[in-house]
Amino acid sequence: MLKHSIQEQLILHEELRTEVYTCPANKLTIGVGRNLEDVGLYEFEQKRMLDNYGLTKQEVIDILQVRQITQEEALYMLNNDIMIIRAELENSYRWFNFLNEVRQKVIIDMRFNLGSSGFAGFKNMIKQVENMNYWNAGEEMKDSKWYSQVKTRADRLIKMMVTGQDYDL
């Protein structure tokens, strides 16, 4: 059973910030972990949020460094990111839809944090999840550079993966 939505979980792990900031990976970021340098704003977000479209990533950054965003816009961007990531996971990993909701949140959270190629690098963990060996998947999560970088987040996600139960605050 879910105690917290994926949105709440990602806000806990990433924070929600309405101003442009530099993230630990040294990338300009806004909202709930939206990397402006690599992702920017999607065309439909530019139209809704800036009443413009076709802007370069640098033009978006320049505008947002002055304008900032609202909390509502940050949540709109987060929901778009979750939808896109979920669709990617469903298309790339047949086993994803067979996971319970809690384990799906773990996978979405990791993919959100690591990016597509970073997540794909967790080959051993992915294999363990595919084989429903959740304890071993947790061990593979722990045996990574990612674990030492985001220890509190990683510990929470590992426990969720192993038990299949949502976290408590």
The domain that holds 76 is classified in CATH as 1.10.530.40
Residue 68: φ, ψ to 5°: 60, -170
**Is the confidence at residue 13, as pLDDT, over 80?**
yes
Task: Please list the residues that pair with 34 across neighbouring strands.
Answer: 30
Same domain, 81 and 99: no
Q: Which residue has the tokens 């976290």?
A: 167
- In this structure, are 42 and 125 located in the same domain? no
Last residue of a domain, one of 58, 76, 92: 92
In a shared domain, residues 99 and 85: no
- In angstroms, rounded to a whole number, what is the distance separating the alpha carbons of residues 37 and 107? 23
Pair (78, 62) in one structural domain: yes
Given this model, what pLDDT does residue 2 score? 84
Q: Please report, in angstroms and rounded to a whole number, the separation of the first and last CA atoms in the chain.
A: 15
* Token duo for residue 79: 């929901």
Asked if 24 and 64 sit in the same domain, the reply is: yes
Final residue before a domain boundary, out of 62, 92, 122: 92
* pLDDT higher than threshold 90 for residue 53: no
User: Nearest 5°: phi and psi at 20?
Assistant: -70, 135
Together in a domain, 157 and 105: yes
Number of domains in the chain: 2
Confidence check: pLDDT of 25 > 90: no
- Both 85 and 98 in a single domain? no
Last residue of a domain, one of 59, 92, 125: 92
Same domain? For 106 and 25 the reply is no
Mean pLDDT to the nearest integer, 124-131: 98
Percent of the chain past pLDDT 70, that is, above it, reads 100
- For the range 116-119, what are the long-range contacts, defined as Cβ-Cβ under 8 Å and sequence gap of 24 or more? 116/88, 118/146
Mean pLDDT score of the chain, rounded to an integer?
A: 96
Range of the domain at 148: 94-169
